[in-house]
């Protein structure tokens, strides 16, 4: 028994020695050193760098389209498709309203103007957005502008921006009211929410066909020509930012926005997923997003996170910012903060008025204002009223 | 040379005995094929119509005329005809997909008993169990194919790259791994059934070599556990869905799978014994199978208890609590649960607290309690009433109870609560629409068709090997 055990041990030692010697012979010392070198963050984020007209652009390593030529080809394909779908719609409009109607001319003009760009991500840029919750009045104009800018199908009720109406004392997202009709009230906070363009997006990890990926400037894009509509990314997103086209997408030539980007607002296909892309067709060409542009109170700021003089870094330094669901660990690039001044909320006595916008019309002494409800304060508080009724 | 001829003879055996039956067999085949074709036509003509049109005409440049002749149009139909939405993106199809993956996983349990432990009784059962696994995987994969929005594109971008050059489109995605294990398990089981029939059909003196079946089990065993584990991995690591986000999900899937699969097989074997005069299964096989299924059922119930404790006792995670209300709340426990959950329950359900689950999805809570009560009852009957599991009728009763309990547990109950309410607190009650039910039935009809077509040649081969009257036994 003892001899047998010794034999096994000897054989084991021999085996280890032979493996070691073979390893030393086979492996190159420098290669081993390279293997042991720790991976830096830059290594992981590396993409394919292309210099066009002296400007450095990056194509993300995650992207299935590795060269500008491939993207260009895709853009051409999508442009032809968008033009065809637009013309179908324009023909229908012209048939209905006549060839000489201004609608027909406008629709045809839109179709001719369609240009699908394939602008690449610039090197060293990381787009981010900051939103002042003290200023936001919950008017949902951003959601409306977003629908118009990004050619979202009007027949399905998809809105990339949802405005969460939450109690001011606790920012618990599940106790939210999405279907409010009246705002702003002083005890509520309004949180416009779209895609957070996370640093570690769970949605791109789960995609079985790499139809969605993070671009080098941090925008998470979807290629509508690759999406298989499995809805796994909708399941994985902690912010409910993704939407599926559950029915055929209607392209309306009259309301179409002809300024398109190949990975952005080009009309999507049926049964594919879509989401906020930080208006990639505007921002990559030096513009700002539609929601920033439309915001009546200037609650939103958009800029490059890596720029220390930019609006985002200045806001973070000045006020401090927070993100939604930090425990999801996705590192969102959509920052919220409570700024120094609050837009005056609606008067509880006079809830239907919009007095806060300009100078309030001053009622004469003693007389009720033009917008005051007959019941005054009591009619506003429904719970109280019902108690009294009982 | 003679081996090659024998292989062709085996293939001929499969073809011959799959269709060589009485009028009842043909009625069954036509009924199942007709039902499947009709409802798949519904699927292609309504639910998937615009996607099929866009893919074939715009991307693959087929002619649109014959698609239009079939009633497939680009501007009508779509998945809008299901009750799925952005809040509840996975519905009935995925629920039943999970269930049938579980049924498939159990097939190898019998192979283990037969080929690894060389149990004579289970040897007669194992090939049928593999046939069941083939049918179950067919149903599961068909359901996923019907569920995705762009089925043709799925084949182009996912199935073909993986099958032809083993290239994972996205190596992060569990969906890809699930496709790999499901396909491998299907192929492995086809091979297993083929091997068994290849020898058994030649008579009592022929049996597949022991080492070959042993090697087969070494590959198939881990794969059987693997298919269900990877299916659970699809959902259990998602931080966004706290209801799933626990390491218990995969073990719970496997546990209930090992209860339901054998229970279904027991019922099928009883039918086979009745209709195939020469086919005999020893009685102890039934008893042992029921006991094994009960052990798995106990583990599954224990996991449910653990889940309930985790979601109610200390948890302060709001979404998990609300989703758990949707599963566990019922009139007879509401007074126990009231102090722990009143805030969120009031928010979603209003002040009428003593109800089943959340408004609109009462059926989830009902299914959950049917699972708990029926499962516990089955366990009690198996343990404390031994005569029941020793008689044919008793075994049939117990198997039906176990199967029903797991159907209640592992269809809607494991999938839907994670979406109700969704991540932003929107409560979108999900209830399958008629077209969803019809398409699910179509997948099941085609699965039954596959089952009967594979099981018949297997049974004929088993009768030839073990003799018409079971004299070897």
Handedness of CA A328, A332, A335, A336 (dihedral sign): negative
Whether the per-residue pLDDT at B473 is higher than 50: the answer is no
Any idea how long chain A is?
390
Phi and psi for B85 in degrees, rounded to 5?
-155, 180
What does the block give as tokens for A90? 């324009």
Whether the per-residue pLDDT at A384 is higher than 90: the answer is no
CA distance A186 to A166: 11
Tens-digit pLDDT profile for residues B384-413? 999 999 999 999 999 999 999 999 999 999
Q: What is the DSSP secondary structure assignment for residue B87, as one 8-state letter? A: S
Tens-digit pLDDT profile for residues B427-438? 899 999 999 999
**Mean pLDDT, rounded, for A200-206:** 94
What does the block give as tokens for B122? 């289970």
Q: Report the pLDDT value the prediction gives residue B86, as an integer from 0 to 100.
A: 94
Q: How confident is the model at residue A372 (pLDDT cuts 50, 70, 90)?
A: very low
Selecting from B59, B154, B347 the residue whose C-beta is nearest the C-beta of A228 gives B154
Q: Are strands A188-193 and A162-167 parallel, antiparallel or unpaired?
A: antiparallel
Residue B330 lies in a domain: yes
Query: What is the count of structural domains for chain B?
Result: 1
Q: How confident is the model at residue A37 (pLDDT cuts 50, 70, 90)?
A: confident
Contact A229 B319 (CB under 8 A): no
Q: Report the pLDDT value the prediction gives residue B344, as an integer from 0 to 100.
A: 67
Q: Which residues of A touch B148 (CB under 8 A)?
A: 228-230
Q: How far is A194 from chain B (nearest CA, A)?
A: 12
Considering only CA atoms, give the Rg of chain A: 28
**Mean pLDDT, rounded, for A2-24:** 83
Residue B334 lies in a domain: yes
Q: Report the pLDDT value the prediction gives residue B271, as an integer from 0 to 100.
A: 93
Q: Do residues B146 and B439 make contact, with C-beta atoms less than 8 angstroms apart?
A: yes
Tens-digit pLDDT profile for residues B241-286? 999 999 999 999 999 999 999 999 999 999 999 988 888 899 999 9
Whether the per-residue pLDDT at A4 is higher than 50: the answer is yes
Q: Report the pLDDT value the prediction gives residue A5, as an integer from 0 to 100.
A: 67
Handedness of CA B71, B76, B81, B82 (dihedral sign): positive
Angle between helices B249-275 and B283-312 (to 10 degrees): 150
Residue B355 lies in a domain: yes
Q: Do residues A190 and A203 make contact, with C-beta atoms less than 8 angstroms apart?
A: no
CA distance B227 to B217: 15
CA distance B20 to B15: 8
Task: Tell me whether residue A227 is exposed, middle or buried, using C-beta atoms within 10 angstroms of its C-beta: 0 to 12, 13 to 18, 19 or more.
Answer: buried
Tens-digit pLDDT profile for residues A92-106? 999 999 999 999 999
CA distance A91 to A105: 10
Listed residue (B135, B115, B140, B113) closest to B195, CA to CA: B115
**Mean pLDDT, rounded, for B18-38:** 92
Q: Do residues A160 and A291 make contact, with C-beta atoms less than 8 angstroms apart?
A: no
Q: How far is B345 from chain A (nearest CA, A)?
A: 11
What does the block give as tokens for A43? 């290594």
Could you give all domains of chain A from N- to C-terminal order, each with its CATH number? 127-337 (3.30.70.20)
Q: Report the pLDDT value the prediction gives residue B16, as an integer from 0 to 100.
A: 93
Selecting from B80, B89, B173 the residue whose C-beta is nearest the C-beta of A247 gives B80
Bridge partners (DSSP) listed for residue A221: A213
Contact A271 B50 (CB under 8 A): yes
Q: Is B148 on the interface with A (CB under 8 A)?
A: yes
Which of B150, B162, B231 is best to mutate for the A interface (most A CBs within 10 A)?
A: B150
SS3 B216: helix
Q: Report the pLDDT value the prediction gives residue A357, as an integer from 0 to 100.
A: 46
Phi and psi for A193 in degrees, rounded to 5?
-135, 125
| Sole residue written with tokens 């009650």 | B429
Tens-digit pLDDT profile for residues A156-197? 999 999 999 998 888 888 888 888 888 888 889 999 999 999
Selecting from A202, A228, A246 the residue whose C-beta is nearest the C-beta of B158 gives A228
CA distance A249 to B300: 44
**Mean pLDDT, rounded, for A354-382:** 45
Selecting from A204, A207, A234 the residue whose C-beta is nearest the C-beta of B89 gives A234
**Mean pLDDT, rounded, for A279-285:** 94
What does the block give as tokens for A377? 């304060």
Whether the per-residue pLDDT at B137 is higher than 60: the answer is yes
Q: What is the DSSP secondary structure assignment for residue A198, as one 8-state letter? A: -
Whether the per-residue pLDDT at B223 is higher than 90: the answer is yes
Residue B470 lies in a domain: no
Q: Is B145 on the interface with A (CB under 8 A)?
A: no
CA distance A199 to A196: 9
Question: HSE of B27 in the Cβ direction (CA atoms, 13 Å)?
Answer: 3
> Taking all residues of chain B, what is their mean pLDDT, rounded to a whole number?
90
**Mean pLDDT, rounded, for A356-366:** 47
**Mean pLDDT, rounded, for B16-41:** 92
Chain-centre distance for alpha carbon B22: 29
Q: Report the pLDDT value the prediction gives residue A388, as an integer from 0 to 100.
A: 40
Contact B425 A271 (CB under 8 A): no
User: DSSP string spanning B155-180?
Assistant: IIIIIHHHHHH---S-TT-HHHHHHH
Q: For residue B240, give the chain A residue with the closest CA.
A: A238
Chain-centre distance for alpha carbon B444: 10
Task: Tell me whether residue A309 is exposed, middle or buried, using C-beta atoms within 10 angstroms of its C-beta: 0 to 12, 13 to 18, 19 or more.
Answer: exposed
CA B287-B291-B296 angle, to 5 degrees, is 150
Considering only CA atoms, give the Rg of chain B: 24
Residue B389 lies in a domain: yes
Q: How confident is the model at residue B334 (pLDDT cuts 50, 70, 90)?
A: confident
Residue B52 lies in a domain: no
Q: Which range is least confidently modeled, A367-376, B99-108, B343-352?
A: A367-376
pTM of the model: 0.88
**Mean pLDDT, rounded, for A335-339:** 95
Q: Report the pLDDT value the prediction gives residue A390, as an integer from 0 to 100.
A: 39
Q: Which range is least confidently modeled, A370-379, B9-18, B352-361?
A: A370-379
Q: How far is B303 from chain A (nearest CA, A)?
A: 24
User: Distance of CA B125 to CAs B108, B198, B202, B272, Å?
Assistant: 11, 16, 18, 11
Host domain of residue B318: 258-265+276-432
Angle between helices B249-275 and B434-466 (to 10 degrees): 60
**Mean pLDDT, rounded, for A120-128:** 92
Q: How confident is the model at residue B341 (pLDDT cuts 50, 70, 90)?
A: low
Whether the per-residue pLDDT at B17 is higher than 80: the answer is yes
> Taking all residues of chain A, what is their mean pLDDT, rounded to a whole number?
86
Contact B149 A172 (CB under 8 A): no
Contact A176 B77 (CB under 8 A): no
Phi and psi for A300 in degrees, rounded to 5?
-100, 145
Q: Which residues of A touch B94 (CB under 8 A)?
A: none
Listed residue (B88, B100, B93, B81) closest to B361, CA to CA: B88
Bridge partners (DSSP) listed for residue A50: A57
Whether the per-residue pLDDT at A375 is higher than 70: the answer is no
Numbers of helices and strands, H then E, in chain B: 21, 0
Considering only residues B470 and A252, tell me which one the structure prediction assigns the higher pLDDT: A252
């Amino acid at each position: 028994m003892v001899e047998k055990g010794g034999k096994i041990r000897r054989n084991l030692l021999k085996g280890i020695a032979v493996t070691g010697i073979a390893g030393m012979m086979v492996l190159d010392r420098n290669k081993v050193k390279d293997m042991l070198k720790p991976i830096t963050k830059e290594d992981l984020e590396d993409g394919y760098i292309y210099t066009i007209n002296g400007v450095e652009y990056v194509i993300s390593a995650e992207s299935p389209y590795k060269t500008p030529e491939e993207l260009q080809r895709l853009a051409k394909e999508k442009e032809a498709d968008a033009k065809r779908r637009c013309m179908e719609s324009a023909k229908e409009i012209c048939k209905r309203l006549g060839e000489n109607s201004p609608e027909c001319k406008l629709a045809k003009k839109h179709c001719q103007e369609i240009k699908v760009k394939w602008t690449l991500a610039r090197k060293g840029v990381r787009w981010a957005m900051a939103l002042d919750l003290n200023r936001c009045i919950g008017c949902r104009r951003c959601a409306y502008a977003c629908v118009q800018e990004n050619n979202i199908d009007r027949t399905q009720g998809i809105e990339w921006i949802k405005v969460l109406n939450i109690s001011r004392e606790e920012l618990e997202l599940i106790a939210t009211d999405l279907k409010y009709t009246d705002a702003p009230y002083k005890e509520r906070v309004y949180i416009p929410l779209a895609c957070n363009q996370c640093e570690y997006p769970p949605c791109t990890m789960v995609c079985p066909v790499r139809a969605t990926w993070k671009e080098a400037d941090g925008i998470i894009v979807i290629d509508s020509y690759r999406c298989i509509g499995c809805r796994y990314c909708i399941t994985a997103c902690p912010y409910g930012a993704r939407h599926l086209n559950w029915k055929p997408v209607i392209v309306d030539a009259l309301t179409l926005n002809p300024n398109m980007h190949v990975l952005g607002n080009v009309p999507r296909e049926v049964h594919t997923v879509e989401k906020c892309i930080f208006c990639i067709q505007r921002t990559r060409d030096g513009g700002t997003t539609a929601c920033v542009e439309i915001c009546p109170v200037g609650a939103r700021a958009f800029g490059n996170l890596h720029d220390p003089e930019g609006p985002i870094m200045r806001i973070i330094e000045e006020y401090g910012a927070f993100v939604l669901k930090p425990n999801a660990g996705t590192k969102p690039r959509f920052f919220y903060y409570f700024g120094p001044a609050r837009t005056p909320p609606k008067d509880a006595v006079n809830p239907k008025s919009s007095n806060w916008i300009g100078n309030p019309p001053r009622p004469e002494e003693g007389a009720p204002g033009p917008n005051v409800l007959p019941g005054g304060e009591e009619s506003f508080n429904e719970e109280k009223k019902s108690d009294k009724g009982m | 040379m003679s081996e090659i001829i024998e292989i062709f003879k085996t293939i001929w055996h499969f073809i011959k005995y799959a269709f060589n039956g009485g009028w009842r067999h043909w009625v069954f085949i036509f009924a199942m094929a007709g039902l499947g074709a009709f409802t798949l036509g519904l699927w292609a003509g309504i639910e998937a119509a615009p996607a099929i049109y866009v893919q074939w005409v715009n991307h693959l440049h087929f002619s649109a005329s014959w698609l239009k002749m079939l009633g497939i149009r680009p501007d009508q139909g779509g998945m809008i005809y299901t009750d799925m939405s952005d809040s509840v993106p996975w519905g009935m199809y995925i629920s039943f997909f999970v269930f049938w993956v579980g049924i498939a996983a159990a097939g190898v349990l019998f192979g283990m008993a037969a080929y690894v432990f060389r149990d004579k009784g289970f040897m007669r059962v194992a090939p049928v169990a593999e046939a069941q696994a083939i049918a179950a995987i067919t149903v599961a994969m068909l359901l996923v194919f019907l569920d995705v929005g762009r089925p043709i594109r799925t084949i182009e971008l996912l199935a073909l790259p993986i099958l032809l050059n083993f290239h994972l489109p996205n190596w992060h995605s569990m969906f890809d791994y699930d496709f790999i294990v499901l396909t491998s398990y299907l192929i492995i089981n086809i091979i297993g059934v083929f091997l068994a029939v290849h020898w058994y059909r030649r008579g009592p003196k022929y049996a597949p070599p022991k080492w070959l079946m042993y090697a087969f089990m070494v590959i198939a065993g881990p794969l059987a556990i693997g298919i269900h584990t990877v299916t659970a991995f699809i959902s259990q690591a998602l931080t966004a869905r706290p209801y799933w986000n626990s390491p218990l999900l995969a073990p719970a899937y496997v546990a209930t799978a090992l209860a339901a699969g054998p229970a279904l097989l027991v019922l099928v074997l009883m039918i086979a014994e009745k209709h195939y005069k020469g086919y005999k299964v020893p009685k102890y096989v039934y008893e042992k199978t029921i006991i094994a299924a009960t052990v798995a059922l106990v583990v599954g119930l224990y996991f449910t208890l653990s889940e309930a404790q985790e979601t109610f006792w200390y948890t302060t995670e709001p979404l998990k609590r609300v989703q758990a209300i949707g599963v566990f709340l019922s009139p007879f426990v509401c007074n126990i649960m009231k102090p722990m959950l009143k805030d969120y329950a009031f928010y979603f359900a209003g002040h009428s607290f003593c109800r089943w689950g959340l408004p609109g999805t009462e059926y989830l809570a009902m299914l959950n309690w049917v699972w708990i009560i029926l499962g516990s009852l089955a366990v009690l009957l198996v343990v404390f009433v031994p005569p029941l599991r020793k008689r044919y009728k008793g075994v049939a009763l117990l198997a039906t109870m176990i199967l029903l309990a797991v159907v209640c547990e592992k269809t809607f109950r494991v999938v839907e609560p994670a979406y109700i309410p969704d991540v932003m607190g929107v409560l979108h009650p999900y209830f399958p629409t008629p077209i969803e039910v019809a398409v699910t039935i179509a997948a099941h009809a085609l699965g039954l068709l596959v089952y009967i077509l594979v099981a018949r040649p297997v049974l004929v081969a088993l009768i030839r090997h073990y003799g018409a009257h079971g004299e070897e036994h």
